[in-house]
Structure 1
Amino acid sequence: MHRPGATSPAPVRGSTAESSRPGDPAAADHLPDDALLDLSTDIAGKDVEDTLTRLDAELIGLANVKRRVREIAALLLIDRARERFGLSATRPTMHMSFTGGPGTGKTTVALRMAEMLHALGYIRKAKVHTVTRDDLVGQFIGHTAPKTKEALAKAAGGVLFVDEAYYLFRPENERDYGQEVIEILLQEMENERGSLVVIFAGYPDRMETFFSANPGLSSRVAHHVEFPDYSHDELLRIAELMVAQENFRFDETAAQAFSRYLELRMARPRFANARSVRNAIDRCRLRQANRLVQLHRPVSRADLITLTDSDVYGSSVFADAPAEGAHQ
């Protein structure tokens, strides 16, 4: 599909493009050495900025992640400008590794990365095909290669997002078929680097083992992006954003209660950052709905949009909390 942002050149000041041989569109686009190219009006650049703005709006914090995304965008914009001047360079590798705990925004960033790479003409489709070990590894001999190639075919022209990628490597099992998947991915990452971007994602410590076990794989991943866990204050802001997006609001006591909830929940096992916040808000809504039904009276708009402290304190997280954290 044609995308104007992927091919439309930025305006040039100072002179016109030099003449070239008929039938040579690439040469026809080349600019003379004294031309000036206005990067700020590149249509693709505008698309990229819109995508980055959406990323800022969707994700709280993650300053280092957003900075890396902007750096990648700048690299590709400059490569587009160099092409206009006929300056050849090796196509930059865009295969990536996203390391971080659950609920830190890895999937969201992958989606926005696909949009950005598509706007810049690096990939043909702004889509992400997400897979796990079960989608790639077969149960018997001869089954793994077709499954892996099917996943690659679905991701062709876009991004293949391999979640929990470390499960592909199981050194304790010499006959595990995960190694076959890795070998196929290595070949495709090299052969199809102009039409496919592979992003490996997973927990930091396990991904370190995954890459250290296969130097060939590590050398093909140019961008290693770390997603830190969110702080308490960032999670509270995430909660307020999620609540507002669903046309709800915390009243003052509910906001205080949810802050206390986060303190307790973050200290418990299997905390999943923004994912756990989303689950907690869903349960608050369940308790609010039950509370309103039990009123046995007409409800107002304010009733319907307001989450109270009782909707928060109903969580089992408070069962073992110190007395001062319990609902008064």
Structure 2
Amino acid sequence: MNALPSPAADPTPAELLESSGVREVLAQLDRELVGLAPVKGRIRDIAALLLVDKLRAAQGLQSTPPSLHMCFTGNPGTGKTTVALRMAAVLRQLGYVRKGHLVAVTRDDLVGQFIGHTAPKTREIVKKAMGGVLFIDEAYYLYRPENERDYGQESIEILLQVMENHRDDLVVILAGYRDRMETFFSSNPGMASRIAHHIDFPDYSEPELMQIAGLMLEQLNYRFDDEAAPAFARYVALRRRQPHFANARSIRNALDRMRLRHATRLFTAGTAPTREQLCTLQAGDVLASRVFAMQEARDGD
């Protein structure tokens, strides 16, 4: 008589991580973003919490879905939107939201300019985001106490209701500068009480910015020649000390301008460029930046 097959063993956390597809999402986050070790660590922690929650539910243990609303703080260009996209994918893979899409908005998408406009605008955005993640950038602009006729508070009240009543199918991520978000929360305790996870995004170091530039160029099939690379390192060091530096965003903009100079140089050369020339940025393409001219002007003073 054949023995009955033994019941399948319960999956380990590592096996669940693999079978759910979350491991690949986290690996993609590592590939896409340079540095940000504290941020990636927090995202892994949240993924672990959700995985263990699934294991507890499978064992019949008390398992209340955790609050997943978040606040991302940091300067522009530090990867907040990219991390929000990957967080949405993690939540979808683990079944915490139905669709796993990201709807990114600002105040203008939520708040109307006239009486009666704000509620429909906010509810329409919430409807689009349901089943996924609603990412509100510069969320503190929703609250403008200095303007008695401002309608941002109406949008906040609707969001508070949705965050409480639909937290099993919508995750809200508020984003912005750290100091301004702290002021926003101190003025809106209801919103502060609904945010379970606060994740701060540090600025990139100069070596990390150089690594980001290398990855961006690789994706575009460009490269620096031997003299352009140190010239760009000088550019990064100068640009980081100037106003309105936006981390990876500023690096991308700088590379776009260098590609324009590269294209103009090849176009005016009068000869057919080789494949190597089409792909190679030279020091002159970097040093023509006004960042260097501004530095020289300051040194001259």
TM superposition score category, shorter chain reference? over 0.9
Tell me what 2:257 maps to. Answer: 283
Tell me what 1:81 maps to. Answer: 55
What is the alpha-carbon distance in structure 1 between the residues aligned to residue 234 and residue 214 of structure 2?
Answer: 14
1:196 partner amino acid: L
Which stretch has the larger CA shift, 65-74 or 35-44? 35-44
Is residue 161 from structure 1 mapped to residue 135 from structure 2 by the alignment? Answer: yes
Cα distance change of structure 1 residues 112 and 272 upon mapping to structure 2, 3 Å threshold: same
What is the alpha-carbon distance in structure 2 between the residues aligned to residue 271 and residue 170 of structure 1?
Answer: 26
What is the alpha-carbon distance in structure 1 between the residues aligned to residue 266 and residue 85 of structure 2?
Answer: 38
- Answer yes or no: is the 8 Å Cα contact 2:112–2:118 preserved in 1: yes
Which stretch has the larger CA shift, 57-66 or 82-91? 82-91
What is the alpha-carbon distance in structure 2 between the residues aligned to residue 37 and residue 299 of structure 1?
Answer: 58
Identity %: 62
Unpaired runs of 5+ in structure 1? 1-13, 18-34
- Residue pairs, 1:46-195, within 5 angstroms: 46-195=20-169
2:76 partner amino acid: P
What is the alpha-carbon distance in structure 2 between the residues aligned to residue 84 and residue 187 of structure 1?
Answer: 30
**Partner SS, residue 224 of structure 1:** strand
What is the alpha-carbon distance in structure 1 between the residues aligned to residue 22 and residue 264 of structure 2?
Answer: 44
Is residue 16 from structure 1 mapped to residue 7 from structure 2 by the alignment? Answer: yes
What is the alpha-carbon distance in structure 1 between the residues aligned to residue 149 and residue 267 of structure 2?
Answer: 57
Is residue 207 from structure 1 mapped to residue 181 from structure 2 by the alignment? Answer: yes
TM-score normalized by structure 1?
0.87
- Answer yes or no: is the 8 Å Cα contact 1:39–1:45 preserved in 2: no
- Answer yes or no: is the 8 Å Cα contact 1:98–1:200 preserved in 2: yes
Which stretch has the larger CA shift, 313-322 or 258-267? 313-322
Q: How many residue pairs get matched?
A: 294
Q: 1:229-273 deviations in whole A, cap 9, x for unaligned?
A: 111111111111111111000011100010000111111111100
Is residue 237 from structure 1 mapped to residue 211 from structure 2 by the alignment? Answer: yes
Match of 1:223 among 176, 180, 197: 197
Q: 1:64-106 deviations in whole A, cap 9, x for unaligned?
A: 0000000000001111111111112221011000001000000
- Following TM superposition, by how much is the alpha carbon of 1:304 offset from its aligned partner in structure 2, in angstroms? 0.6
What is the alpha-carbon distance in structure 2 between the residues aligned to residue 299 and residue 292 of structure 1?
Answer: 7
Unpaired runs of 5+ in structure 2? none
What is the alpha-carbon distance in structure 2 between the residues aligned to residue 199 and residue 43 of structure 1?
Answer: 23
TM-score normalized by structure 2?
0.94
Is residue 296 from structure 1 mapped to residue 263 from structure 2 by the alignment? Answer: no
- Flag the structure with more relative contact order, 1 or 2, with Cα contacts below 8 A and sequence separation at least 6: 2
- Answer yes or no: is the 8 Å Cα contact 1:165–1:207 preserved in 2: yes
